[in-house]
Amino acid sequence: MGFEDQKNDQLQIPKIRFEGLDLSQAGSPRWDSARSHVIAALQTYGCFDAVYGVTAPELKGMLFGRPVLDLFELGLQEKLQNTSDKPFLGYIGNSLPNVFPYQYESLRVVDAHNLESVEKFARLLWPGGNPNFCNAAWTVGKHMRELEQMVEKMILESMGLEKYFVRQVESLEYGLRLTEYGIPSDQENKLAMRSHVDPNMVTVICQHQVGGLEVLSKDGDWITVEPSLDAFTVVTGEAFGVLTNGRLEPCRHRVKITSNESGKRYSALFSSRPKDGVVVHPAEELIDEAHPQQYRPCNYNEYLRYVATTKEEKSMKAFCGVAKEETRA
């Protein structure tokens, strides 16, 4: 069965409540309850909706007003100042039709939880630096990073790897990617982004008003994830699959815009990825006779270059997976 098959509007991904939680509450009954729901959702769906309560509407309202409109109203030459020497980490859009053959533009703010980093990004695009955009992106980045780190800690605790949490956090960098979707070029299937898995550790997805996110269930059904005023969608990526020796499979998802409403679709994605030079490898504690090693150590940036250049299958399993013959040896 292909990845573009049947859609199931009846299924829903789990919603898990995070209101009032922070890292200082690790070990509390509320924390432990949320953790058990998080790991169950990730093992079953690879994703869940994190209910952030009254904070989420405020954050979405702050970001998706003038700040995002100001960003995408800029000319292409200004947007192209958002560059990176690594694949897919700067501006992506209509300037790369062979790579992304759909109508969308996307820019990435490195370390959006750090005000100085956001201000540096803004000075590249606007002569005056756009303080309104900076305040919005920074505030959203701080909260999304807090949520991302809570999810990381809960996963590590569930896998018996809590002692590695500080080292794990120190090994990561973060980015906020803001995206504007136009009319899908694939009018028959309404696909604005093909099915894929993220290469990183965790992605926190914020949809604004116009939906489109769909995730693939283990039964091969596409589940529609409707925009939620009080929630962010959390998905795990390939790098976490390597770290957990395949215990957590990356969430396959796509964007399919079927709404008849006029206008554009906007989203914000806050993701964590290994820093330059970091090698991702399965935790030794998760390798045993029942769970043979699934991956060889993987340099994350080398994998990104592989994805950007190869015409072969593009997955961490193809790049650094242990062959069945090696597993049996």
pLDDT in tens, 32-45: 999 999 999 999 99
pLDDT at position 88: 81
Question: Which superfamily is assigned to 7-274 in CATH?
Answer: B-lactam Antibiotic, Isopenicillin N Synthase; Chain (2.60.120.330)
* 85 burial via Cβ count (<10 Å: 0-12, 13-18, 19+): exposed
Rounded distance, CA 92 to CA 311, Å? 19
pLDDT in tens, 154-209: 999 999 999 999 999 999 999 999 999 876 665 666 777 888 899 999 999 999 88
Pairing assessment for the beta strands 253-256 and 191-196 based on DSSP bridges: antiparallel
pLDDT at position 197: 93
* Exposure letters 100-139 (e unless 16+ CB within 10 A, then b): bebbbbbbbbbbbbbbebbbebbeebbeebbeebbbbbbb
On whether the CB atoms of residues 280 and 171 are closer than 8 A, the answer is no
H or E stretch including 191?
A: strand 191-196
Structure tokens at 175: 């980015």
Rounded distance, CA 198 to CA 280, Å? 15
* 94 burial via Cβ count (<10 Å: 0-12, 13-18, 19+): middle
Domain residues of the chain, as ranges? 7-274
For residue 230, the number of C-alpha atoms closer than 13 Å in the C-beta half-sphere is 9
pLDDT at position 191: 74
Structure tokens at 170: 């120190």
Query: Quick one: CA dihedral 41, 286, 238, 28, positive or negative?
Result: positive
The segments of the chain whose pLDDT lies below 70 read 1-9, 94-102, 183-189, 259-263, 311-313, 324-329
| SS3 assignment, position 210 | coil
Rounded distance, CA 236 to CA 48, Å? 10
Rounded distance, CA 76 to CA 225, Å? 31
Pairing assessment for the beta strands 231-236 and 202-208 based on DSSP bridges: antiparallel
pLDDT at position 312: 67
Predicted structure pTM score = 0.90
